Amino acid sequence: MLQPNILLTCTPGVGKTTLGKEPASRSGLKYVNESDLAEEGQLYDGCDEDYDGPVLDEDRVVDEVRKPDERRWSYGDFHGCDFFPEHWFHTAFVLRTDNGVLYKRLETRGCNEKKLQDNSHCENFQPLYEEGIASYREEIEHQLFRNNPEELENNINQILKWIEKWIKDHSS
């Protein structure tokens, strides 16, 4: 069966993994999470002591995703998107949230103050949304908001409707 390639991206802590798993599971699409992929393949380029975490090696991630094996995916969540070629995706969803909600989520996770401030700042100035607009055609980029549980279910349904329509439009 022909399947769409979908990208889900957002600032860390906005909820892409939570949102990513459910539509993939319900639709049967193969799902990959950037953090899991990077950890499995040790796709890092050092450690960022300010953020207390590894630095993703984007070139190695692209090489890994490009491999034509059983790990080929059709639905993936990644923090950034500009390092992937546009032709890889049929659509890209950028998940957004209010800064206050994001700050509380990250604080609950135990993030350090620099990470709290920088990610809140990042969400406020929308660089990932702008990165998506600069990287992909406007008609494939969609913005979703997730501030509460009701919006999560609405977003899942919106993604599932997009998948259903894409499959219907591309079936012979």
Identify the pLDDT of residue 73: 63
Closest alpha carbon to 31 in 16, 53, 15: 16
Identify the pLDDT of residue 54: 87
**DSSP result, 44-67:** EEEEETTTTEEEE-HHHHHHHHH-
Identify the pLDDT of residue 72: 54
Which region among 15-19, 66-70, 139-143 has the lowest average model confidence (pLDDT)?
Answer: 66-70
Contact 70, 119 (CB under 8 A): no
Contact 29, 165 (CB under 8 A): no
CB atoms within 10 A of CB 94: 25
> If pLDDT is split at 50, 70 and 90, which confidence band does 44 have?
very high
Taking only the tens place, the pLDDT of each residue in 120-144 is 878 877 777 777 777 778 888 889 9
What single-letter DSSP state applies at residue 71?
Answer: T
Side-chain-side CA neighbours of residue 114 (13 Å) = 6
Please count the residues of the chain.
Answer: 172
| Averaged pLDDT, 15-25 | 89
| Averaged pLDDT, 28-42 | 88
